[in-house]
Homo-oligomer: A and B are copies of this chain.
Amino acid sequence: MMVLVTYDVNTQDAEGRRRLRQVAKACVNVGQRVQNSVFECKLDPLQFAQLKKHIDGIIDSNKDSVRYYRLGNNWTNRVEHVGVKETYNPEGTLII
């Protein structure tokens, strides 16, 4: 299933900037960055649980916010993009 991960990490101090990098890294490892703090991640239920656990261990829940939107399987026709950095389609053909 496709899971959309969006987050706001408080970067007012160095600790926050470190948390931001770590959350981004956790998402980059399992998904596609489509905007600065928005990732599209194709995950099975176990991978999703592992990602949430990993991110739970990174963020400061008093300062940061993370949202997960389960878009299901036929998600591609539910997304519209305007402007720069159109995302690749994980199911699309990769032209090398």
Residues of chain A whose beta carbon lies under 8 Å from any beta carbon of chain B? 4, 6-8, 34-38, 52, 55-56, 59-72, 78-85
Measured CB to CB, the closest approach of chain B to A56, in angstroms, equals 6
Judge whether B35 and A67 touch: CB under 8 Å.
yes
Indicate how many identical chains form the complex.
Answer: 2
List residues of chain B with CB within 8 A of the CB of A85. Answer: 8, 65
Among residues of B, the one whose C-beta sits closest to the C-beta of A63 is B84
List residues of chain B with CB within 8 A of the CB of A66. Answer: 81-83
Judge whether A6 and B38 touch: CB under 8 Å.
yes
Measured CB to CB, the closest approach of chain B to A43, in angstroms, equals 13
Please give 15 more A-B residue pairs, beta carbons under 8 A apart, in addition to A4-B69, A68-B79. Answer: A6-B35, A34-B67, A35-B65, A35-B67, A37-B37, A65-B81, A65-B82, A65-B84, A66-B82, A66-B83, A68-B81, A69-B78, A70-B78, A70-B80, A72-B78
